[in-house]
Amino acid sequence: MPALLALPRRMLTAARTATTRYGPAYLLLSTLLSWSNLLLIYIALRASQTDVRTLVRGRNLPARVEQAAETGGLFALAVVLNKMLSPLRLLVCIAVLGRYAPVINLEIERCRSAWRRWRGTDAAPKVDDAKQV
């Protein structure tokens, strides 16, 4: 039981490690996966045309999920299910980013610098005074 209680702490530590190790690529991929999961869950719930209350009561889900489904409908249920998939999304991000993070980070930095140049806020590179002497 103590190992189960330590699971959220381990997942948070893994998320922090991924954020510092992979940087913007992790944030981009995690956000894209989150939005796509939410959209697909909502479409699946909408296409199934089932009663939300019946769907939630038929499963062994917490009372908060049932309350959210009753008051918020399909979209609220989709949001709750999306949140329940967060640990899985973290594992997918870490598995994918091990190989593709450097390429994604280079592309993100290229886009950032182009955006800064377009806005006119791209600061000139700082020259170290010691190198000038």
- For residue range 27-80, what is the model confidence (pLDDT) as tens digits? 888 889 999 999 998 999 888 876 777 777 777 777 777 777 777 778 888 888
Alpha helices in 49-128 (DSSP H): 52-57, 63-84, 86-119
* Residue 110 CA to its chain's centroid (Å): 22
Does residue 127 lie in a domain region? no
Contacts 24+ apart (CB under 8 A), 29-32: 29/93, 29/96, 29/97, 29/104, 30/89, 30/90, 30/93
36: left (phi over 0), alpha (psi -120 to 50) or beta: alpha
Q: How many domains does the chain contain in total?
A: 1
Judge if pTM exceeds 0.85: no
Structural domain harbouring 50 = 38-109
Does residue 11 lie in a domain region? no
* pLDDT band (50, 70, 90) for residue 5: low
Does residue 122 lie in a domain region? no
